[in-house]
Amino acid sequence: MLAPLLLLWPMSIAITYLVAKGIANQPFDHALEDSVTVLTQQVKQADGALLRRVPDKNRSGRDFLRGDDVDTLYYLVVGGRGEYLDGDRDLPPPQDPDKYRSGMVLFRNDTIHGTPVRVAFTYLDTPSGSDDEPRRTLVQVAETLEKRAQLANEIIKGVILPQFIILPVILALVWFALARGLSPLAQLQERIRARPPDDLSPIESGQVPEEITPLVGSLNEMLARLSLSIDMQKRFIADAAHQMKTPLAGMRMQSELALRQTDHDEIHRSLLQLAKSSEAATRLVNQLLALARAENQPQAGTAFEPIELSELARGVVQDWVQASFAQHIDLGFEQPAYSIMISGNPMMLRELLSNLIDNALRYTPAGGSVTVRVRSTLELAILEVEDTGPGIPQAERAHVFERFYRILGSNVDGSGLGLAIVREIAQQHGAEVDIFNNPRAHSPKLPGTLLRLSIALLLPDAPEEDDITYG
């Protein structure tokens, strides 16, 4: 704040000088006006005749004016015909006399003998001695500006000298106020610097200035979100480490058992178990990587692009055809005749659908069917995966999207990450995932499952289709 104060100080001096000049002009202008009035009265007493015909002819017009030793007074009286009557011939007349009204005392700035003067003047009507219109007589009095300058300087001194005292006091007060006001910020800075790296507790806002309380509140909200994210990562790492122990322990046990065997059939059996354990470990690692990749995708849609949903789904289904043949499951695909456009990340949506198909194939017994269906309503694109497996009980549907959660008694190999990946990708796309029973299942023991993904259309111009609700 020091720089603005130092800049405003000379500006205040300049403004004060202009105001002082205006104030100093007022009393001296009144005195000049009185002098013009005195001369005007003398001209009227003489009925427009020469001033030397005033009763005391030895006195001139200057004797009626009050002079002093500081300023010089000048006057001039010019008759209605332009003839010189009395005064100083060098005093210049006003410009454009016709625009001035008679009887009014006016002021102007002018020069005489190279010296600036303040001039008061008036026009008065005097008889012409005939029937013609009255003639205008010019009466003007001029004064040099010494007393005015002295008074203005005295006013400036009276204002500036106190400022020399007040300005340092103001600067000291501002310095003290800012230092006192910013001291809580410095203390807050020291408290934050003294925190250990793992301290994400809220910052105390009791001693913080009111102006930055919202900033501290926003920072505390960010710390809370960061703490929640770190806690989730810690739990994820702990769960992942726990889940990895089982396949790794199985692989180690099978390898040690194979080393101790001498019978070729037993060795072959141990190697088969080792291969299954390695396959389970590989799948678990791939799903962990897929989940980590899904959680670190841009949240604002910056990586999204237009996608034709039917084409993307058809490509994913083709990738799983061989797996369905191996498990003796009928894998089908249904799509409408029109295009369904959405906005999303193609790689992540393929991962989502792959996990849905993988889950459906794993839980559907041999001889069953899995169908992938693409359709749309007026505003939503619908992606459905239905199977003829054992279904998901109503009480379990709220938990199956949790990490590493598996339904007890399912007797199916898995990591419990597939639907967690599906939920994460769906949330990033602003989509919803719902679980229903398969309305086309025929066996009471195998009610099947229908998982529906609802996502906004990019171009909502597809034909409207009845939105069927499954239960």
Residues 85-123: tens digit of each pLDDT: 888 888 898 888 878 888 889 999 999 988 999 999 998
Provide the angle, in degrees to the nearest 10, between the axes of the packed helices 2-45 and 146-193: 160
pLDDT at residue 127, rounded to an integer: 63
pLDDT at residue 470, rounded to an integer: 41
pLDDT at residue 410, rounded to an integer: 53
Q: Name which of 167, 232, 22 is nearest 107 in CA terms.
A: 22
Q: How confident is the model at residue 309 (pLDDT cuts 50, 70, 90)?
A: very high
pLDDT at residue 467, rounded to an integer: 46
CB 53 within 8 A of CB 46: yes
Q: How confident is the model at residue 174 (pLDDT cuts 50, 70, 90)?
A: confident
From 3.20.20.70, 3.30.565.10, 3.30.420.40, 3.90.1150.10, which CATH number describes the 302-456 domain? 3.30.565.10
Determine the length of the chain: 471
Distances from the Cα of 8 to the Cαs of 11, 164, 289, in angstroms?
A: 5, 13, 64
Cα(414)–Cα(148) distance, integer angstroms: 102
Angle, CA 410 vertex, CA 407 and CA 416 arms, to 5°: 50
User: May I ask the CATH architecture of the domain 210-294?
Assistant: Orthogonal Bundle (1.10)
Determine which helix (DSSP H) or strand (DSSP E) holds 23, and give its type and residue range: helix 2-45
Provide the 3-class DSSP secondary structure of residue 51.
helix
Give the global pTM: 0.48
Angle, CA 125 vertex, CA 120 and CA 130 arms, to 5°: 155
Cα(117)–Cα(113) distance, integer angstroms: 10
Every domain range in the chain assigned CATH 1.10.287.130: 210-294
Residue where the block lists tokens 């919202």: 214
Every domain range in the chain assigned CATH 3.30.565.10: 302-456
DSSP string, 133-152: PPEEEEEEEEEESHHHHHHH
Q: Name which of 18, 47, 53 is nearest 159 in CA terms.
A: 18
Residues 404-448: tens digit of each pLDDT: 666 654 555 555 677 888 888 888 888 999 999 988 877 888 889
